[in-house]
């Protein structure tokens, strides 16, 4: 009797959901609707069979079974879709803060394993040498093979001072290594390293350098201040470093583009199944205009999401030359919808397209000038970024010996400026 009541209740709920959904979107064909009723009935019957006969009754509560089903349903769609219980949802809402406790790594699911998008600089993960592309095999000895993304994130999170051991596979070398880390308070300064590069590297030209670590609320304002200061110092060209930048807030990425593009310029667009997901994102109409100085953007496999949007826009709109390696390829839009009990579902509703109609998701953004780095060079760059009180001369030496991407960017800008000088209009003498 109870089983029949439960099945009937589930079908009634499904009918209500369908009626709301159909009113908001396209009506499915009758056969599809009928099939939906059949499948939800099958689901309800399976739950009751499990509750009736499964050996361990403690595992058969309705909440546990339906939560597990929701997790499986969402995670089967793509690596970025997930079901979040109330605690997970609250944690997700805190993710865009510039201060939090953790290891300092951004992860996604790739080939069935939690995979590092990037280790945020000056964090426990970055100082330990964890790199983009590393796959997490175990967390504190627990295999991640059957974890979804949220499960992995929950195990990685914890209070500052707590220790965690990660077992990582580095696909490029097939090396498996344990990393013993201590969680810490992560403070993200999103704009770093703003300066004119050493004349030993740039010759007679004043080439500015700015690194964006992540896109959060103050990023665009901090970038604007840094650019103002470099322009006061006579900057003639700029290198914008987005390497190992995992992304962040979309609006922040669009505002960053606004520092280099004309007002009301389309930076990125989204396309999905429903009209509300067809949207263009434009630079602000109120942004200050800057000189159209030559510009290079540095990218690598650790550049993702917002970093790919900025790089793709500046490339397609011919505002900057990209130097480095193809980016990660995280370019989809997830909507988060809260459920009545405080939990939420997050699922992909659209994909990002660059101004040139290139799909970022799964493809990444390719550089105009490909320059790869060896493992030794990448480790040296990580060490430089996470070191304290580095002397300018030591930094110049590391760039000259360990950072071929930066050297290629400098050469490209010097070439552009030399060409501009050689082809500048010559002033004609006035006869008296």
Q: Given 187, 213, 248, which residue is the final one in a domain?
A: 187
Same domain, 181 and 199: no
Residue 32's pLDDT is: 55
Between 23 and 360, whose confidence is greater?
Answer: 360
N-to-C CA span, the chain: 111
Residue 122's pLDDT is: 82
Q: Is the pLDDT of residue 94 over 90?
A: no
**pLDDT tens digit sequence for 24-81:** 444 444 555 557 778 888 888 999 999 999 999 999 999 999 999 999 999 899 888 9
Residue 19's pLDDT is: 45
Considering only 146-150, 264-268, 310-314, which range has the smallest mean pLDDT?
146-150
Q: Is the pLDDT of residue 18 over 90?
A: no
Between 371 and 120, whose confidence is greater?
Answer: 371
Strands 321-324, 295-299: parallel, antiparallel or unpaired by DSSP? parallel
Question: Is 341 contained in some domain?
Answer: yes
Same domain, 254 and 345: yes
Across residues 236-246, what is the average pLDDT? 97
Same domain, 248 and 329: yes
What's the chain's average pLDDT?
Answer: 87
Question: Is 380 contained in some domain?
Answer: yes
pTM for the complete prediction?
A: 0.79
Catalytic residue list: 305, 316, 330
- DSSP, res 339: -
Angle at alpha carbon of residue 20, lines to 19 and 26, rounded to 5°: 80
Across residues 402-425, what is the average pLDDT? 92
Residue 152's pLDDT is: 87
Question: Is 83 contained in some domain?
Answer: no
Question: Is 228 contained in some domain?
Answer: yes
Domain holding 344, by residue range, is 191-421
Same domain, 145 and 278: no
Give, in order, the Cα–Cα distances in Å from 345 to each of 88, 155, 273. Answer: 11, 20, 18
Same domain, 366 and 330: yes
Q: Is the pLDDT of residue 305 over 90?
A: yes
**pLDDT tens digit sequence for 391-409:** 777 788 889 999 999 999 9
Give, in order, the Cα–Cα distances in Å from 405 to each of 246, 378, 393. Answer: 19, 11, 19
The H or E element containing residue 226 is: helix 219-232
**pLDDT tens digit sequence for 372-384:** 999 889 888 877 7
Same domain, 267 and 401: yes
Q: Which one of 1-15, 118-132, 179-193, 319-333 scores highest in mean pLDDT?
A: 319-333
Same domain, 46 and 115: no
Angle at alpha carbon of residue 260, lines to 255 and 262, rounded to 5°: 85
Question: Is 69 contained in some domain?
Answer: no
Question: Is 66 contained in some domain?
Answer: no
pLDDT band at 7 (very low <50, low <70, confident <90, very high): very low
CATH of the domain at 326: 3.90.226.10
Q: Given 171, 187, 203, which residue is the final one in a domain?
A: 187
Same domain, 143 and 268: no
Question: Is 429 contained in some domain?
Answer: no
Q: Given 163, 187, 211, which residue is the final one in a domain?
A: 187
Same domain, 125 and 273: no
- DSSP, res 292: -
Residue 97's pLDDT is: 54
Residue 405's pLDDT is: 98
Q: Is the pLDDT of residue 428 over 60?
A: no
Across residues 101-107, what is the average pLDDT? 87
Residue 23's pLDDT is: 42
**pLDDT tens digit sequence for 242-293:** 999 999 889 999 999 999 999 999 999 999 998 988 999 999 987 778 999 9
Same domain, 6 and 136: no
- Rounded distance between C-alpha atoms, residue 173 and residue 221, angstroms: 40
Across residues 89-96, what is the average pLDDT? 68
Q: Which residues are 185's β-sheet partners?
A: 101
Between 93 and 66, whose confidence is greater?
Answer: 66
Phi-psi region of 338 (alpha: psi -120 to 50; beta: other; left: phi over 0): beta
Q: Which residues are 369's β-sheet partners?
A: 323
Residue 395's pLDDT is: 84
* Structural domain count, the chain: 3
Residue 46's pLDDT is: 92
Same domain, 34 and 170: no
Q: Is the pLDDT of residue 22 over 50?
A: no
**pLDDT tens digit sequence for 344-365:** 999 999 999 999 999 999 999 9
CB count in 10 Å sphere of residue 29: 8
High-pLDDT (> 90) share of the chain, %: 58
Q: Are 167 and 206 in contact (CB under 8 A)?
A: no
Same domain, 235 and 384: yes
Q: Is the pLDDT of residue 425 over 90?
A: no
CATH of the domain at 177: 2.30.42.10
Question: Is 90 contained in some domain?
Answer: no
């Amino acid at each position: 009797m109870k089983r029949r009541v439960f099945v009937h209740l589930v079908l009634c709920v499904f009918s209500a959901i369908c009626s709301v959904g159909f009113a908001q979107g396209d009506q499915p064909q009758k056969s599809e609707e009928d099939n939906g009723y059949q499948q939800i009935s099958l689901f309800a019957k399976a739950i009751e069979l499990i509750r009736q006969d499964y050996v361990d009754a403690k595992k058969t509560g309705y909440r546990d079974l339906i939560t597990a089903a929701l997790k499986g349903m969402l995670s089967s769609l793509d690596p970025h879709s997930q079901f979040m219980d109330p605690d997970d949802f609250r944690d997700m809402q805190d993710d865009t803060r510039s201060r939090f406790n953790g290891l300092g790594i951004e992860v996604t699911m790739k080939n069935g394993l939690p995979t590092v998008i990037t280790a945020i600089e000056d964090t426990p993960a970055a100082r330990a040498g964890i790199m983009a592309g590393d796959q997490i095999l175990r967390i504190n000895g627990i295999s991640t093979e059957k974890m979804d993304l949220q499960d992995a994130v929950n195990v990685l999170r914890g209070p500052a001072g707590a220790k965690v051991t990660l077992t990582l596979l580095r696909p490029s070398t097939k090396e498996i290594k344990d990393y013993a880390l201590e969680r810490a308070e992560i403070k993200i300064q999103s704009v770093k390293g703003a300066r004119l590069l050493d004349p030993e590297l740039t010759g007679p030209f004043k080439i500015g350098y700015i690194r964006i670590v992540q896109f959060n609320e103050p990023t665009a304002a901090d970038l604007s201040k840094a650019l103002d200061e470099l322009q006061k110092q006579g900057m003639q060209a700029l290198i914008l470093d987005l390497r190992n930048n995992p992304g962040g807030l979309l609006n922040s990425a669009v505002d960053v583009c606004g520092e280099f593009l004309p007002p009301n310029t389309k930076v990125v667009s989204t396309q999905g199944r429903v009209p509300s997901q067809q949207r263009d994102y434009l630079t602000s109409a109120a942004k200050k205009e800057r000189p159209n100085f030559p510009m290079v953007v540095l990218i690598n496999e650790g550049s993702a999401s917002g970093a790919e949007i900025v790089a793709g826009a500046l490339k397609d709109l011919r505002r900057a030359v990209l130097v480095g390696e193809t980016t990660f390829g995280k370019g989809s839009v997830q909507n988060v919808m809260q459920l009545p009990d405080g939990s939420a579902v997050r699922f992909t509703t659209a994909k990002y397209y660059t101004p040139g109609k290139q799909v970022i998701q799964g493809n990444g953004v390719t550089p105009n000038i490909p320059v790869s780095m060896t493992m030794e060079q990448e480790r040296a760059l990580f060490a430089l970024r996470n070191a304290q009180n580095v002397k300018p001369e030591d930094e110049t030496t590391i760039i000259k010996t360990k950072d071929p991407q930066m050297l290629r960017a400098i050469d490209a800008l010097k070439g552009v400026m030399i060409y501009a000088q050689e082809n500048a209009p010559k002033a004609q003498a006035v006869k008296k």
